[in-house]
Structure 1
Amino acid sequence: MKVYQTNEIKNIALLGNDGSGKTTLTESLLYEAGIIQRRGRITAKNTVSDYFPVEQEYGYSVFSTVYHVEWNNKKLNIIDCPGSDDFVGAAMTALNVTDTAVLLLNGQYGPEVGTQNHFRYTEKLKKPVIFLVNQLDSDKCDYHNVLERLTEIYGPKVVPVQYPLNEGPGFNALIDVLLMKKYSWGPDGGAPTIEDIPAEEMDRAMEMHKALVEAAAENDETLMEKFFEEEKLTEDEMREGIRKGLVTRSIFPVFCVCAGKDMGVRRLMEFLGNVVPFVDEMPKVHNTRGEEITVTADGPTSLYFFKTGVEPHIGEVCYFKVMSGSVKTGDELTNSDRGSKERLGQIYVCAGANRQPVERLNAGDIGCAVKLKDVKTGNTLNGKDCENRFDFIKYPNSKFSRAIKAVNEADTEKMMAALIKMRQEDPTWVVEQSKELRQIIIHGQGEFHLRTLKWRMENNEKIQVKFEEPKIPYRETLTKSARADYRHKKQSGGAGQFGEVHLIVEPYAEGMPDPTVFKFGGQEYRMNIKGKEEIDLEWGGKLVFINSVVGGAIDARFMPAILKGVMERMERGPLTGSYARDVRVIVYDGKMHPVDSNELSFMLAARNAFSAAFKEAGPKILEPIYDLEVYVPADFMGDVMSDLQGRRALIMGMDSEAGYQKLQAKIPLKELSNYSIALSSITGGRASFTTKFASYELVPNDIQQQLIKEHEADGEED
């Protein structure tokens, strides 16, 4: 294979909603480029994409597929991404290591929730976008309506380059208003017949051609001047104008294909090869030190590993992008994240599961390597005198969580090893071994996301697992001050145990003044502060511990033990066993014995005194509250709001964004447990949402009583 230079390489992410036809388009692209000799079919389970068993089982893409095509002395690296938002990690990764997004639309449905989500990601990353309308041969295809909706959502930047002549089962021709030609195909697609535009289509074609010329001219002053003078541009000038407009996101061209019949695919590749920006025309990436990295083969070698796949009989396949310099077979590089040396025995270019060995890859190119000893997703390998590290991919927060258990407890260690391996393939998995909840929690992007994990665990790893509802990390706190004392006394021959602690607890808020006097039962207690510790609790909030003991009632050497006893009870709150927070504890009196007092005695006395005082101090349970944003079509807004109100959500605001309604709310974590399933059911899968932790708030009193009863019942069972 030819070694391509940086200015001959283009990197493209292929995105689209489930059912838009990305896998079928991939087959046609590879077939047209001569990479494969016959097009596979999803139903036959022989496609280049979707070659993993779990994908063939469910009929959905689960992993992204990296492949390349060579066209007109250009190399197009394409990453075909899963359509489901449950596998958004693959789309986010692809967009970060490519330069242009092709957003595929099903001609029957036009822009869908997946389109909206993917477009938002391109917006955030400032990536060029090309819209591609597929399935023009379907009964319900309505190109005019699709174009209308795209313009309605994304504005006048949406500019058609092609339009079909006859949508529906008889589709076989389109008009290209960039080249001003008619393209038509026989029943088997492939190479088109190119003719002049029929007279009856000329007015419509000329109108769209002028709109395209004007949109192209807007991106270059010289072209704009020529356009004003002559009202036309050459084909090359239009390409240049469109390329510049793509880079600045001031134009979103619209193309047409019928991927299933291989119609329009060859023309699409021509456009990608001729017009899409090269890697060195895009904004530069920065390393972790904030330095710009120039994409040039003359620079120091730096590879960023963006994806790991685990394949049967091969093991880990590590995919990388050459960020600068060049890499060749046999190079020895340094892993800047792990400090280890790595020799690249062989490097490959990819076409799904097929790999072709190459001698060299230059800056901007994408390849893979196998059998590396110490490389993980997100690592950077550098050549001599280079210390780059990259951390530019930011993944969305999790939306769906479940506790996972091995059916056979003896398999727990194997299960954890498998989960860590799966996270290498999909960084949107978050595996949490919660000491607080005493559960292993899997955080993912949705119910289908977790279902595929379970399938793989049971079918690939042969480990039977079960999911459970994750416990909620409640917190306990106080609403008023209270006093208690406790004497720990134990005598069993020899030295005994004795410690007595008198303390006061009260709610703590940042910046509140030190205590001076308390009144309980008509008695006044004056504080004389000898020492104070402010402890930032690892689970959030604070514990302020004050020593106000006078007259040597308790020796200062026992204070750390008293604090330890209080902390132990803070870790298992008296109401539900949840962590306690935002508490001030004042130890003001006590007693000790010259022989029998020791650290253990005062720790136990403090623990019991704190527990007794806590229960008298108006204890309240706090629950985690999350900020929720729901993107929903307007016609489902009422149902979605009604459902949220039934989940104790507080609606904070509504807005319109890119043709969808954006609803903002605050919602308790407990009510989010099955929200992704419910929202999909209500909207037919046409809505999406994001969540972010906001704060801890008091639970309603009826729920608090229920939680306490459940905790007491669990205690009795234990």
Structure 2
Amino acid sequence: MSAQTKDLRNVVMLGHSGSGKTTLIEAMLYEGGAIRRRGSVESHNTVSDNTDLEHQRENTIFSHQMFVNWKNNKINVLDTPGFDDFVGEVISSLKVSDTAVIVLNAASGVEVGTELVWEYLQHYKTPAVFVINQMDHPKADYDSTLQQARERFGSRVVPVQYPLSSGGQFNQIVDALRMVLYEFPESGGKPEKKPIPESEMSRANELHNALVEIAAENEEGLMEKYFEQGTLTEEELAKGITIALAHQQFFPVFVTSGLKDMGSGRIMGFIDDIAPSPLDRPARKLQDGNDLHCDPSEKTTVFIYKSTSEPQVGMLSYFKVMSGILKPGDELVNADTGEVERIAQLFISEGKERIPVTQLEAGDLGVTVKLKSARTNCTLNARGISRSIRPMEFPESRVRKAVWAETTADTEKLFAALNKLKEEDPTLKLDIDADTHEAIIGGQGQLHLDLLKHRLERDFGVKMQMKDPRISYRETITGRADADYRHKKQSGGAGQFAEIHMRVENYNDGMEEPAGLSIRQKDIEDLPWGGKLAFYWCIVGGAIDNRYIGAIKKGIMQQMKNGPLTGSPCQNVRVVVYDGKMHSVDSNDISFQLAASGAFKDGFNNARPQLLEPMYHVEILCPEETTGDVMGDLQTRRAMITGMDSEGHYQKIMAEVPLAEMNDYGSSLRSLTGGKAKFSMKFSDYQLVPTNVQQDLVHNYRAATVEV
């Protein structure tokens, strides 16, 4: 079960939900002899979708590692979810794969989930094979699906096969690479090889010629040989096609019915013969810029691409051996922490079944248990070497919820559980909002967070509540006001006295200096919550002693932390202290601190205060026919459309949208487009809140303050 590096093929299955990846994998495992009978998603007995959650939803939620031996090679197969709520599972699987199989639904064409994985596939420069699956579907349309793939992904998408018929009649595939017709029995399985019908020879030859040209670009003399012989075998084309596939010069297209087990064996044969082994892939770039080649003769380096916990077992760590040979008992050093991890047990995975092995060579995938602290994105090295694989980067959260335990007694338990689940799923984010003091969980979609809640209750016995988080507003001013404030307190003995005159105005970089004042000190401070405070000390004649500057700034900052409109932090303000009074006995730091706070509050309130709200840059990719509905919905969310573009047969809409309007956006978009759209969002800046919205926010804040 352990294989040499040259005999390994690491394949990740990608595609939109419903494309039939899991069913196709089941057929591939069956054809390779890894299983004796094919399971089904509906019967909840597939090798891949093997968790209770996946059985309940009848969808892939987690990535799953499997393998099948084909001829002399070991093919590792990674199944991935089709919902972009679980994109982290896709990214991690792509990181350790050497070939991608992109599964398209022949009845639905190129769907938005495919667009999503294509972006990551290009990032990792992974060779890819397209499979038009479900050719037995009544609405299957090979030509339309192929055309969409070529429009979206380019002319390098080249058909290797095409069906003679589709729907219930699908049982014949013309293979232009091998120049043969495959005819399948009604029950599927092993086909009979037949000559291509004369009526199809023109089309088949045209496709074959295209493949010869692709191969000839990478192998000298091939074209001459073709002219001499009139055709070439797959073996003769193999070298040129392997190079072309490895360098993303072409993306071959095959056809299958995973449900009927028609065409899956041909996919396996192509992967076995043509797909690159780990030895054929470019060297990995390390954090320090050096290269790491997948070489079994090198010292051992292991990269953990996924961590997950299992009851009665503990933490499972899924990994790829990047170099060297790994054996049970090996001690490796965590490149991030320096901690030594002992690999007590070594397994390969066939879905939920773990099979012990005595070693794994460079390029192979495996799993171990109970590592002390190494988790996803960690690099483990043999002693004496220092290598760090570049970590995976995961997208920003697209949905945020404030969370708390249903009972106070469970609060500590809740956060312990959330931190544990964060170790398993790097796309989950947990933060405490510095302004609102709420615990905020961020995820890729509402489904993502709903399943998180389900796992908390099922696996940890903690009930979590969720609600839309309070928005972290900012306060600023758009005008200018002078203010003076006297603090005086007398209660026997030394009292308190301070008087301050200040100007409060909006600040922006490059503005003119205050006119008619003598500037003695100027500080431009970057505030912890963003924006700036420009503090000018313009006191002349000793009206206020310089030793009180620190106390005055402290008083201003305290007031700025909790602005007068909604208690939100203030930013981009210039404060000019130009006059005041002090007392030789009663003046002290606390007096000037309180006077500065009072003067700033009065000045701020009289300088046309304005709320600012966080704006996010949002990009939506949706079918053209839903563009109007999507844009109409954005307008109800106070969005400003900043641009539109075409990406294949999809429309890309770019907009600036207030965060306050984005809480339910994922669910709304899915409803508007039938699940055929995706979006991403990233913080842009703070912008002025419309007057009517500000009035409501201020009113609600003051009402809540009175109640308290």
TM-score, normalization: structure 1? 0.95
Alignment counterpart, residue 636 of structure 1, candidates 626, 634, 640: 626
Change (3 A) 1:560 1:178: same
| Cα shift readout 1:49-75 (whole Å, capped 9, x = no counterpart) | 222222222222221111222212212
Residue 629 (structure 2) pairs with residue 666 (structure 1): no
Other-structure match for 1:691: 681
C-alpha distance in 1, partners of 2:67/2:543? 79
The amino acid that maps onto 1:511 is: G
C-alpha distance in 1, partners of 2:116/2:668? 19
Native 8 Å contact 1:54 1:455 kept in 2: no
Other-structure match for 1:522: none
Alignment counterpart, residue 546 of structure 2, candidates 553, 556, 564: 556
The amino acid that maps onto 2:688 is: L
C-alpha distance in 2, partners of 1:232/1:498? 100
C-alpha distance in 2, partners of 1:672/1:412? 27
C-alpha distance in 2, partners of 1:355/1:568? 59
C-alpha distance in 1, partners of 2:527/2:63? 41
Change (3 A) 1:506 1:225: farther
Question: Which ranges in structure 2 are unaligned for 5 or more consecutive residues?
Answer: none
Other-structure match for 1:523: none
- Alpha-carbon offset, residue 500 of structure 1: 2.8
| Cα shift readout 1:654-705 (whole Å, capped 9, x = no counterpart) | 2111221112222222222222222111111111112222221111111111
Sequence identity, in percent? 47
C-alpha distance in 1, partners of 2:220/2:647? 32
| Other structure's SS at 2:460 match | coil
Other-structure match for 1:131: 130
C-alpha distance in 2, partners of 1:206/1:531? 83
| Other structure's SS at 2:26 match | helix
Other-structure match for 2:525: 535
Native 8 Å contact 1:300 1:385 kept in 2: no
Native 8 Å contact 2:212 2:223 kept in 1: no
Q: How does 1:195-206 map to 2 (within 5 A)?
A: 195-206=194-205
Residue 603 (structure 2) pairs with residue 613 (structure 1): yes
Native 8 Å contact 2:624 2:650 kept in 1: yes
The amino acid that maps onto 1:161 is: V
Residue 562 (structure 2) pairs with residue 572 (structure 1): yes
The amino acid that maps onto 1:146 is: T
- Alpha-carbon offset, residue 308 of structure 1: 0.5
C-alpha distance in 2, partners of 1:229/1:695? 66
Question: Which ranges in structure 1 are unaligned for 5 or more consecutive residues?
Answer: 518-525
Other-structure match for 1:345: 344
Q: How does 1:121-520 map to 2 (within 5 A)?
A: 121-224=120-223, 226-227=225-226, 232-517=231-516
Residue 82 (structure 2) pairs with residue 92 (structure 1): no
Native 8 Å contact 2:435 2:472 kept in 1: yes
| Cα shift readout 1:601-638 (whole Å, capped 9, x = no counterpart) | 22222222111111111111111222222111111122
Native 8 Å contact 1:214 1:227 kept in 2: no
Other-structure match for 1:521: none
Alignment counterpart, residue 702 of structure 1, candidates 675, 689, 692: 692
Change (3 A) 1:504 1:304: same
C-alpha distance in 1, partners of 2:493/2:348? 78
C-alpha distance in 1, partners of 2:595/2:219? 79
Other-structure match for 2:100: 101
Change (3 A) 1:493 1:36: farther
| Cα shift readout 1:534-591 (whole Å, capped 9, x = no counterpart) | 2211222111222222333333333222212211221111111111111112222333
More deviation, 58-67/336-345: 58-67
- Alpha-carbon offset, residue 91 of structure 1: 0.9
**How many pairs align?**
708
Other-structure match for 2:36: 37
Other-structure match for 2:77: 78
More deviation, 25-34/634-643: 25-34
- Alpha-carbon offset, residue 473 of structure 1: 1.6
Native 8 Å contact 1:335 1:341 kept in 2: yes
Change (3 A) 1:306 1:495: farther
| Other structure's SS at 1:378 match | coil
| Other structure's SS at 2:168 match | coil
C-alpha distance in 2, partners of 1:28/1:630? 35
| Other structure's SS at 1:259 match | coil
C-alpha distance in 2, partners of 1:310/1:150? 38
TM-score, normalization: structure 2? 0.96
Q: How does 1:103-122 map to 2 (within 5 A)?
A: 103-122=102-121
